[in-house]
Amino acid sequence: MAARRRVVVTGLGLITPLGTGVTENWDRLLAGVSGIRRLAMAEAIGAPVKAAGNVTAGDWQAARDAFPQDAINEGERRTLFALWAAKSALHDAQLSEGPFEQYRCGVALAAGLGINRLEDVARWVDSNRRFDIPRFGREYTAIHPESIMRNNSNRPAALIARRFDLHGMNLTVTTACASGTQAIGTAFRAIQRGDAAVMLAGGADSMINPIGLVFFALLGAASASSDDPATICRPFDRKRSGLVMGEGAGFALLEEEGHALRRGAKIYAEVSGYGTSLDAYQVTAPHPAGRGAESSMMRALQDAGMHPREIDYINAHGTSTKLNDVAETTAIKAVFQEHARKLAVSSSKSMIGHLLAAAGAPEFVYTILSVQHDAVHPTINLTHPDPKCDLDYVAEGQRLMKVRAALSNSIGFGGQNASIIVRKYHT
Amino acid sequence: MMIAPQVVVTGAGSVSSIGATSSETWTALLGGQNGIRPVRGFDAGGFGRLFAAQVGDLTAENLGIHPRDARIMDLHSLMLMSAARQAYGAAGLADAGIAGDAIGFFAGMGMVDYEVDDILPAVLKSLGPAGVDYGRFYAGAYRDIHPLWPLSMLNNVTFCQVAIDLGIKGENAVFCPHADSGAVAITEAVGALCEERAEAVLTGGVSEKISPLSIARGLFAEILKRAPEEPGTVLGEGAAILCLENRASADRRGATYSVAVAGYGHCCAPRDDGTAPLPGAIAGAMSAALERASLQPKDIDVVIVHRDGTEQADKSEDEGLLSIFGDLRNLPVFSTKPAFGHLLAAAPAMDIVVATMMIERGIIPPIWSGKPAQQVRNVMVNCQSYEGQCATIIVQAVA
């Protein structure tokens, strides 16, 4: 096996329900501020989902103002989210301030489902209440600007390559809720084996649209609670009622260690291990004992050459669904054994909601910040402990603690799992 | 940097418009057949005089898939299932004694479009005097959509169904949606084997199903032929999956193989009009693949080009080829698209299936230009997305 290159993180960028800045996000997370709000858009009135982690109107406008041409040409919110977070991470890393090898710098993006609009069917319903395909064929250019037919999932990654001259490997991952971690993990691998010197990796998603608002309700996975929005996402709590959608994007600039050192980049942390697995169990539910998540965590530890005792913190997938939170807890206990009781475990989703395909991306950024700052954000709303979820979820508020290394989990619908480990960087 | 240890192809499976298996597709290619016909299954006349290479006779029942599972499977799911089962069987994985945890799976998959009839009842119930009334939709109309319909819209769920069917639990990822995504999947599979994170890996891709929505997408991107005499690409349906293993472990279990994946390269530099990669990116991918395979351009016996028939993509690729190979007059160039159309994410693995046959049989099928090689040892496969991504894979004969 060839020697593997070390991979470090040198830039971070975010746009989430908690804001557009990394520091802003971190301060609010530590303070336990929720970004979940009542849905205010006209097209959401009466929806089975009452609240979501919306990017605020002001932050959305900031993203539009930063990319005026793309704001006109691109049909999806996630594209502008991706551009904003990508630009922020590049700016943070100061990569473009010196010469860089464009063909050694790539992009890895997690992308979601894309948007399906009822109007794209309704417009071509004929007098017999059937979809008139020939007329659709003649008039297809009238499809909705947000339509999946106009927005390929690999378009944002290509746009980032074009805007920022990153001409190396360019890939788009679509593994549902595991996508964000898999995009970052795939970027990590590309640098490790020498296929790239730099990868801008992350995810962007938004399903806060009419089909998205019924998507998880149909599957029985969404919280329909009409309680105070700030309280409805309750990972690991006995009264949890399902996932709450969020939207936004997160990016990290991953860089080969020598490349970063030569250009004098500030290094946040080192990416030390990554693992993926398949449940091969059911597409409608995770393995009840979390066998898939257990396997992905074990693989990440083996990949990093680390003992479970070296991990101090887990940024959990923690969706606030009945099935996930128990399965993930069971998996953590299986991997970490007695050390599981000493770990801090928290769910960012309790505050920003579930960013779906992108979820692992901002959660990776937060995991890096935990390692950098020796601090862990809380899981908010955990007030009624579930006996089956019996780990330390940092329910009482932020905690200052030594975080030598941390692991972030993502678990996708269908049974795809991904875990990634970051640790403090030492030469 | 060479790919070490050597990664070999120990099995393959495919579905295309000209063959339900790889050998059927090869026989049809040798016979000069093509699967391109007027679009069938729906009235595509409104779009123009459209042709496509569509797969027929593939049903869940034929594949022995339980109706419960088939409920969320469309044609792309069935094609992927068939190709993966074929590759798994051809490699003898069922009897190889390799644990599911040690089998990886990486695939490129297309965009997933809904079947209009799946949501039409909900749309009809949601119609008000001014068109769609979301109040009506939320008040109950949406319940006319099957509760598992959302899963059918996630391309990774199909992937997971294949994993369940074959008991695959190892390293994995799904990339999306164009030809380059199928090449990324192959690269990641090679990486997993070289780093010994898997003992065997299934990898490849599946195309989109031809539907009114997928055609609209292609027309929107201005890549599809609207009529036979116009420039543009012809969509094809199909899937191709390879079983890759490290040569040493394949030898230990007595698996047979004839080719290795020797090199790969990936770049992305979109033209400003978003119609193709720039020539420099295409050349960059070829150059990286050659370097990784420790080959010179003169060592390449055949290039299976992307050449999708669109003006800009073909021009970019020609310029890229010219910058790598210099004189193109003596370069044997082959394209599978005249036979089974553009298979999008399935294209690179399908082209590797064809390349493997070329190497094994020493024959270049009759859709080619330039001189035939005396011997086919090294085949370069190019692929790209009109969004700007491009990739090259090189496969090589192994003694």
Tell me, letter by letter, the H, E, C secondary structure of chain A.
CCCCCCEEEEEEEEEECCECCHHHHHHHHHCCCCCCEECCCHHHCCCCCCEEECCCHHHHHHHHHHCHHHHHHCCCHHHHHHHHHHHHHHHHHCHHHCCCCHHHEEEEEEECCCECCCHHHHCCECCCCCECHHHHHHHHHHCCCCECCCCCCCHHHHHHHHHHCCCCCEEEECCHHHHHHHHHHHHHHHHHCCCCCEEEEEEEECCCCHHHHHHHHHCCCECCCCCCHHHCCCCCECCCCCECEECEEEEEEEEEHHHHHHCCCCCCEEEEEEEEEECCCCCCCCCCCCHHHHHHHHHHHHHHCCCHHHCCEEECCCCCCHHHHHHHHHHHHHHHHHHHHCCEEECCHHHHCECHHHCHHHHHHHHHHHHHHCEECCCCCCCCECCCCCCCCCCCCCEECCCCEEEEEEEECCCEEEEEEEECCCC
Q: Is A263 a residue whose pLDDT tops 70?
A: yes
pLDDT at position A100, please? Answer: 83
Residues of chain A in contact with residue B113, where contact means CB-CB under 8 angstroms, are 148-149
Nearest to A212 by CA among A306, A324, A118: A118
Beta-carbon-side half-sphere exposure of residue A115 (alpha carbons within 13 Å): 24
Residue B389: left if φ>0, alpha if ψ -120 to 50, beta else—which one? Answer: beta
Average pLDDT for chain B = 95
pLDDT of amino acid B365 = 86
Domain that holds residue B292: 262-397
In a domain, B241, yes or no: yes
Residue B129 counted as domain residue: no
Question: Token pair for residue A322?
Answer: 């009945």
In angstroms, what separates the C-alpha of A23 from chain B's closest C-alpha?
32
Q: What is the CATH number of the domain that holds B99?
A: 3.40.47.10
pLDDT at A2: 61
Across residues B301-321, what is the average pLDDT?
Answer: 96
Q: How would you class A137 by CB atoms within 10 Å of its CB: exposed for 0-12, middle for 13-18, buried for 19 or more?
A: buried
Contact list in B for residue A118 (CB cut-off 8 A) is 119, 122-123, 126, 132, 134, 137
* Residue numbers in B near A219 (CB within 8 A): 147-148, 150-151
Q: Which of A152, A170, A194 sits opposite B266 (nearest CB)?
A: A170
Q: Are B11 and B339 in contact (CB under 8 A)?
A: no
Determine the residue among B76, B175, B272, B390 to mutate to test chain A binding: the one whose Cβ has the most chain A Cβ atoms within 10 Å.
B175
* Residue A426 burial class via C-beta count within 10 angstroms: exposed 0-12, middle 13-18, buried 19 and up: exposed
pLDDT of B374 reads 66
B382 three-state secondary structure: strand
User: A148 vs B196: CB contact, 8 Å cut-off?
Assistant: no
A317 catalytic per annotation: yes
* Summary mean pLDDT of chain A: 96
Domain shared by B275 and B239, yes or no: no
Confidence of residue B375 (pLDDT cuts 50, 70, 90): confident
Cβ separation B174–A43 shorter than 8 A: no
Please check the confidence at residue B4 and state whether its pLDDT lies above 70: no
Q: Is A339 a catalytic residue?
A: no
Of B212, B230, B252, the position where a domain reaches its end is: B252
B72 and B11 in a single domain? The answer is yes
CATH number of this structure's domain A7-115+151-423, picked from the four choices 3.40.50.1000, 3.40.47.10, 3.30.70.20, 1.10.287.10:
3.40.47.10
Q: How far is CA B244 from CA B94, B108, B181, B378, in A?
A: 15, 15, 17, 17
Separation CA A83–CA B330 (nearest Å): 44
Q: Are B237 and B17 in contact (CB under 8 A)?
A: yes
Domain co-membership, B207 together with B295: no
Q: What share of chain B is helix, strand, coil (3-state, %, to 5)?
A: 40, 20, 40
Q: Are residues B192 and B267 in the same domain?
A: no
pLDDT per position as a tens digit, A27-86: 999 999 999 999 989 999 999 999 999 999 999 999 999 999 999 999 899 999 999 999
At which of B202, B232, B252 does a domain end? Answer: B252
State CA B260 to chain mean position distance. 18
User: Radius of gyration (Cα) for chain B, nearest Å?
Assistant: 21
> Strand B302-304 vs strand B378-384: parallel, antiparallel, or unpaired?
parallel
Nearest-CA distance A405 → chain B (Å): 22
3-state secondary structure of B359: helix
Residue B366 forms part of a structural domain: yes
Q: Calculate the alpha carbon distances from B398 to A58, A398, B89, B256, B334 in Å.
A: 60, 58, 22, 11, 21
Q: Chain B closest CA to A402's CA: distance in Å? A: 31
Yes or no: say if B384 and B179 are a contact pair by the CB < 8 Å rule. yes
Q: Which one of B111, B217, B268 would you mutate to disrupt binding with A, by most A Cβ within 10 Å of its Cβ?
A: B268
Q: Is residue B124 part of a domain?
A: no
pLDDT of residue B370: 45
Residue A212 has pLDDT above 70, yes or no: yes
Assess whether B318 and B220 both reside in one domain: no
Task: For tokens 């640790």, name the residue.
Answer: A423
Q: How many Cβ atoms are within 10 Å of A255's Cβ, its own excluded?
A: 29
User: In this structure, are B76 and B188 located in the same domain?
Assistant: yes
Average pLDDT over residues A96-123: 91
Among A233, A317, A377, A389, the active-site one is A317
Is residue B55 included in any domain, yes or no?
Answer: yes
pLDDT at A96: 79
Smallest Cα distance from A104 to chain B, Å: 9
| B101 and B190 within one domain | yes
Does residue B367 carry a pLDDT above 80? no
pLDDT confidence bin for B331, thresholds 50/70/90:
confident
Q: Could you say which of A259, A287, A354, A377 is catalytic?
A: A354
Is residue B134 one of the residues assigned to a domain?
A: no
In this structure, the answer to whether residues B205 and B288 fall within a common structural domain is no
CB nearest to A125's CB, from B124, B135, B148? B124
- Out of B230, B252, B274, a domain closes at B252
The verdict on B40 and B17 lying in the same domain is yes
Query: What mean pLDDT do residues A397-408 have?
Result: 98
Q: Which helix (H) or strand (E) holds B76?
A: helix B75-90
B77 and B180 together in one domain: yes
Q: In the predicted model, what is the mean pLDDT of residues B16-36? A: 96
Instruction: Tally the domains of chain B.
Output: 2
* SS3 assignment, position B383: strand
Please check whether residue B140 lies inside any domain of the structure. no
Residues contacting residue A24 through CB under 8 Å, at least 6 positions apart? A18
Note whether A314 and A347 are within 8 A (CB).
no
Instruction: Note whether B6 contacts A: Cβ–Cβ < 8 A.
Output: no
For residue B169, is it within any domain?
Answer: yes
For the beta carbon of residue A341, count every other beta carbon within 10 angstroms: 11
Q: Which 148-177 residues of chain B touch chain A by CB within 8 A?
A: 148-151, 153-157, 159-161, 163-164, 167-177
Task: Give the pLDDT confidence score for residue B291 in this predicted structure.
Answer: 97
Please tell me the distance from the alpha carbon of residue B332 to that of residue B25, in angstroms, as a whole number.
21
Average pLDDT over residues A221-236: 97
> Whose CA is closest to A268, among A36, A112, A423?
A423
Q: How many CB atoms lie within 10 A of CB A129?
A: 11
Where do the domains of chain A lie?
7-115+151-423
Provide, rounded to the nearest whole percent, the portion of chain A with pLDDT above 70: 100
Assess whether B365 and B233 both reside in one domain.
Answer: no
- Asked if B190 and B216 sit in the same domain, the reply is yes
